[in-house]
């Protein structure tokens, strides 16, 4: 074993990366001799990320990727001239093309076309970098969600949020570095825990799941406990844990438990203030749609996301379920966009007003898109991972541009295809991290976030 490997192993397993940036900075010193502030590989364009994950598969051909050919070919099978883009094994399902129920109109100085489903988001089109050529091969919700968030269908690797805080650590001592909110679970596609899990990274890098309505669970002081008594209780627990750790030697799980108790005490003072939205102005609350039934829950989640990054949370994930539209795509997507369009636009506006837009990367994505064909006779669309859309905003990205394209009916990415690994590498790039150099030694192998390959889509940043 080389001295470099020995140092890396000591830092990642022996210390459990209690200060995650320490491990990264040391690795950088070994590999390049160059360090930048914050432990990044190069100057970051963003210090935090808000990942808006639309679970269920929003239809790209009804939101951000207009296909006029669908209107011309509605009710027909896919012509052979277009079917050539599709693998033969999948051609049997290319029947009964369906036009989008919505019009697309050009918006902003860029003239980017956006569906009438998204009038509020359309006002921010010059801030959006739209990638129309996402693709992977998994058409099933659970594994697809794992692919989108961890890079593998098995969900056995760290999620992108965990890699982000492993690389840079936390920017706050009083709140978790990585927080997840799961909204609108429709009972069909349940949230995949791998989407906020640490995989083989030490446990402290997993996301903390919070309920936007109730806040962080069990954060209130128990009845009869004063702050002083709680401090003494946790001090005793800490003493026993550290004595146990001394006997065991290096043990990341025990070390993570010690840190979790320390964080829990700090949360008891910081978390209540975070979730006290009554301190926000009425104008802000109204902008997010609080108090209105369709937008109440997503609005609260998006407003909390802004408050979290404002307080130093590194990575915030907002999962909005319910986008699976096998039948009645018109009703489904009007409901889903009605819940999300105004709050997401408000988030972009609010970040700008507070000077946080340039330092916060906002990402919108689902696990896949939907087919240009009608599923059966249900006026819905099936799953389609071969070509779909995501967008980036803020955090140093160049808005008002479109990257990549799908074929004329929107089935397959045919120009500048982008994989989930490329997508993850792009998020890390904004944080100043090179995915190929961010390593963690697991079972003797230096693992990287993009295990199957993947490079940052640098055009996103202009």
Tell whether 224 is covered by a domain: no
Half-sphere exposure of 186 (CA within 13 A, CB side): 15
Tell whether 1 is covered by a domain: no
- Return the ∠ at Cα 300 (arms to 48 and 51), rounded to 5°: 30
**Tell me, what CATH number does 391's domain have?**
3.40.720
Number of domains in the chain: 1
- pTM listed for this prediction: 0.88
Tell whether 291 is covered by a domain: yes
Tell whether 228 is covered by a domain: no
The answer to whether 125 and 66 are in contact (CB under 8 A) is: no
Tell whether 30 is covered by a domain: no
- In the numeric block, the tokens 């593998």 are attached to 152
| Parent domain of 343 | 40-123+133-160+171-215+275-461
Q: Rounded to whole angstroms, how far apart are CA atoms 10 and 29? A: 15
Tell whether 190 is covered by a domain: yes
Q: Rounded to whole angstroms, how far apart are CA atoms 74 and 373? A: 9
Tell whether 16 is covered by a domain: no
What the block records as the tokens of 424 is 């993850």
Tell whether 265 is covered by a domain: no
Half-sphere exposure of 290 (CA within 13 A, CB side): 20
The answer to whether 47 and 68 are in contact (CB under 8 A) is: no
pLDDT tens digits for the chain (462 residues)?
Answer: 333 333 333 333 333 333 333 333 333 333 333 334 457 999 999 999 999 999 999 999 999 999 999 999 999 998 888 887 776 656 666 889 999 999 999 999 999 999 999 999 999 999 999 999 999 999 999 999 999 999 999 999 999 999 999 999 888 888 999 999 999 977 677 899 999 999 999 988 999 999 998 877 777 777 887 878 877 887 888 888 888 888 888 777 778 777 777 776 777 777 889 999 998 999 999 999 999 999 999 999 999 999 999 999 999 999 999 999 999 999 999 999 999 999 999 999 999 999 999 999 999 999 999 999 999 889 999 999 999 999 999 999 999 999 999 999 999 999 999 999 999 999 999 999 999 999 999 999 999 999 888 999 999 999
Q: What is the pLDDT of residue 38?
A: 54
Three-state DSSP string of 41-101: CCCCCCCEEEEEEECCCCCHHHCCCCCHHHHHHCCCCCCHHHHCCCCHHHHHHCCCECCCC
DSSP character string of 238-272: HHHHHHHHHHH-S-HHHHHHHHHHHHHHHHHHHHH
The answer to whether 89 and 415 are in contact (CB under 8 A) is: no
């Amino acid at each position: 074993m080389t001295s470099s490997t020995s140092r890396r192993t000591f830092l990642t397993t022996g210390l459990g990366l209690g200060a995650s940036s320490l491990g990264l900075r040391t690795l950088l010193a070994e590999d390049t001799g160059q360090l930048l502030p914050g432990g990044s590989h190069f100057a970051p364009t963003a210090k935090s990320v808000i990942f808006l994950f639309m679970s269920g598969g929003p239809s790209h051909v009804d939101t951000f990727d207009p296909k006029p050919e669908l209107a011309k070919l509605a009710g027909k099978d896919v012509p052979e001239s277009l079917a050539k883009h599709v693998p033969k094994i999948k051609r049997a399902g290319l029947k009964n093309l369906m036009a989008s129920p919505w019009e697309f109109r050009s918006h902003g100085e860029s003239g980017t076309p956006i569906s009438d489903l998204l009038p509020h988001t359309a006002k921010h089109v010059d801030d959006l970098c739209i990638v129309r050529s996402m693709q992977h091969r998994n058409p099933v919700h659970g594994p697809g969600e794992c692919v989108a968030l961890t890079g593998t269908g098995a969900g056995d690797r760290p999620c992108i949020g965990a890699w982000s805080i492993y690389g840079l650590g936390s920017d706050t001592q009083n709140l978790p570095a990585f927080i997840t909110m799961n909204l609108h679970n429709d009972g069909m596609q349940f949230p995949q825990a791998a989407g906020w899990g640490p995989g083989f990274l030490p446990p402290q890098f997993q996301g903390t799941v919070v309920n936007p309505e109730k806040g962080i669970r069990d954060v209130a002081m128990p009845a009869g406990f004063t702050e002083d008594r709680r401090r003494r209780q946790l001090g005793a627990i800490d003493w026993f844990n550290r004595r146990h750790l001394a006997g065991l030697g290096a043990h990341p799980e025990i070390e993570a438990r010690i840190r979790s108790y320390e964080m829990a005490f700090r949360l008891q003072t910081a978390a209540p203030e975070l979730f006290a939205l009554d301190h926000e102005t009425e104008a802000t609350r109204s902008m997010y749609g609080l108090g209105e039934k369709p937008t109440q829950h997503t609005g609260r989640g998006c407003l909390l996301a802004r408050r979290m990054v404002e307080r130093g949370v590194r990575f915030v994930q907002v999962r909005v379920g319910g986008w699976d539209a096998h039948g009645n795509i018109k009703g489904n997507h009007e409901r889903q966009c009605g819940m999300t369009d105004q709050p997401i636009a408000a988030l972009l506006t609010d970040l700008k007003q507070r000077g946080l837009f340039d330092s916060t990367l906002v990402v919108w994505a689902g696990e896949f898109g939907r087919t240009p064909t009608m599923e059966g006779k249900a006026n819905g669309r099936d799953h389609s991972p071969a070509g779909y859309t995501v967008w980036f905003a803020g955090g140093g990205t160049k808005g008002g541009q479109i990257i990549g394209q799908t074929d004329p009916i929107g089935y397959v990415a045919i120009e500048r295809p982008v994989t989930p690994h490329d997508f993850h590498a792009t998020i890390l790039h904004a944080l100043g991290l090179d995915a190929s150099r961010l390593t963690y030694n697991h079972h003797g192998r230096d693992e990287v976030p993009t295990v199957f390959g993947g490079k940052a889509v640098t055009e996103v940043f202009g």
